[in-house]
A and B are shown apart, each in its own frame.
Chain A
Amino acid sequence: MDCLEFRRRLAAEPRARDTAFVAHRDSCHAGCTEAWWRAQRLERRIEDALATEPPAGLAERILLAQATRMRVRTRRWQVGFALAASLLLAVGVGTFGWDRSARADPLPAMSVAHLRGEAFALALTQPVSDGELRRDFAARGVALRAMPQGAVFVRDCDVGSWRTVHLVFRVNNEPVTALYFVGRDTTRPRDFHHAGWQGRELPLDHGTLLLLGADARGFADVERTLRQALQGSAQQTIAEL
């Protein structure tokens, strides 16, 4: 480090302590040592001047302000929590009421409501993979014996309190929705019309199959492919026997 570099550094960082700086200070005979002392005195003056006395009780006042804000926020939070709890209760009561009314005639209303919630699936055209089909049925504890053909959407969904596999098939370029209610017994098949949708409810394997479409033309094909997927083909059954 030469004198110029030392002086520059001294002007910017008089309290510097690094080895090269200190070594030059201690060895220079061209006035750098004296300059360092002058800089230290100036620095001391600056430090003394900056050391103003803080107002008494500053920390305590800040802690008091913080504690007060905390209390106000806690009260707000409590009020908010009470409101949220009331709202939740109201929603719960409403849902319970809806659930009871839905159970009075459950499947058509619940299924159409669910279909509307996932209406995007009706526009899909690309077939889903066998892996997706196998996975979503397996999520409901159902092992497929064959792959249902023509499915463009599959998802394990809850419809009301029922665990279902939701599928959409394209039959003659029209979407047919199939909801397989696992473990739900249906005594006999029935057709229904609900909210502009044509529907069919029928027993299938260990559950209920509910089909929805603009009309019933594609129902037979979808029922056939799902029956085969769940129960296997006639040849398979015979072979197993």
Chain B
Amino acid sequence: MPVSAKVGSRQRQFDALVRAHANDLYRFAYWLCGDDTRAQDLVQETLLRAWRALDSLRDGSAAKPWLLTILRREHARGFERKRLELSELDDNLAEDTATVDPERAGSDAQVRAAILQLEPKYREPLLMQVLGGFSCEEIAAELGCKPGAVMTQLFRARQKLRAVLDGGASMNAKEASHGLP
């Protein structure tokens, strides 16, 4: 029957979408909200919304940014309802890192804690860029601000991470004054 063939095709498209993007969505969601359970809920709600709006997805290559946009909006709605407390930095972040390369200093756990410590205005564009593959212009369009402002947010996000990782010790005078790599 034509009807069942159409439903089957839609379902197959959805299956492929879920299998291709669920993990990326989870990572994005996790770093957005900092909570495993909430992240899983977010991914599920995002994909179920995507199912309902699947007909509006016309280009397969646009699927990931489309899903991330849905997820961000879903998170924003949830964020209004419940503000989750961000986890505090571990005490061992203060360990001496002066003898190692700043970028290699600290474990992944420290980097993760540092990322979660970032204010949302810095963390969100960073996640969109690193995990979502968005350009500055695309992030600006999503967040409703200018590309220059996004570049500043990304720059500050990395500056803060770098400061956490090197404990501020290895920043040379020029970097300290200009904040540039």
Contacts and interface: CB of A to CB of B under 8 A. Distances in A.
Interface of A: 4, 7-14, 35-36, 38-39, 41-52, 54-55, 58-59, 61-63, 65-66, 69
B108 A49 contact: yes
**Which of B102, B111, B135, B152 has the largest count of A CB atoms less than 10 A from its CB?**
B111
A44 B158 CA distance: 12
Contacts of B158: 11-12, 14, 39, 42, 46
Nearest to A51: B27
Contacts of B18: 59, 62-63, 66
Given A10-B181, A61-B44, A69-B48, 7 more contacts: A10-B180, A11-B158, A48-B111, A52-B31, A54-B22, A54-B27, A58-B23
A65 B130 contact: no
Contacts, number: 117
A46 B111 contact: yes
B161 A46 contact: yes
Contacts of A39: 158, 181
B176 interface: no
Interface in B21-50: 22-23, 26-27, 30-31, 36, 40, 43-44, 47-48
B94 interface: no
Nearest to B178: A7
Interface string B66-110: 000000000000000000000000000000000001111000100
A39 B179 CA distance: 13
A42 B14 CA distance: 36
A102 to B, nearest CB: 39
B111 A12 contact: no
A95 to B, nearest CB: 30
Which of A10, A47, A50, A65 is packed against the most chain B CB atoms within 10 Å?
A50
Interface of B: 14-15, 18-19, 22-23, 26-27, 30-31, 36, 40, 43-44, 47-48, 51, 101-104, 108, 111-112, 115, 126-127, 129-131, 135-136, 150-152, 154-155, 158-159, 161-162, 165, 178-181
List of 4 A-B pairs having minimum Cβ-Cβ separation, nearest first: A49-B111, A41-B103, A7-B180, A12-B151
A94 B47 CA distance: 46
A11 B180 contact: yes
Given A7-B180, A8-B180, A51-B27, A66 B155 contact: no
A48 B181 contact: no
Contacts of B36: 55
A8 B151 contact: yes
A45 B166 CA distance: 13
Nearest to B103: A41
A48 B107 CA distance: 10
A48 B48 contact: no
Contact of B154 (A13, A38, A69): A13
A66 B14 contact: yes
30 contacts: A7-B180, A8-B151, A11-B159, A11-B181, A12-B152, A13-B129, A13-B136, A13-B154, A14-B158, A35-B181, A38-B181, A41-B103, A42-B162, A42-B181, A44-B103, A45-B103, A45-B165, A46-B115, A46-B161, A47-B130, A49-B112, A54-B22, A55-B40, A58-B43, A59-B23, A62-B47, A63-B15, A63-B18, A65-B48, A69-B48
Contact of B165 (A14, A42, A48): A42
A48 B136 CA distance: 21
B12 to A, nearest CB: 11
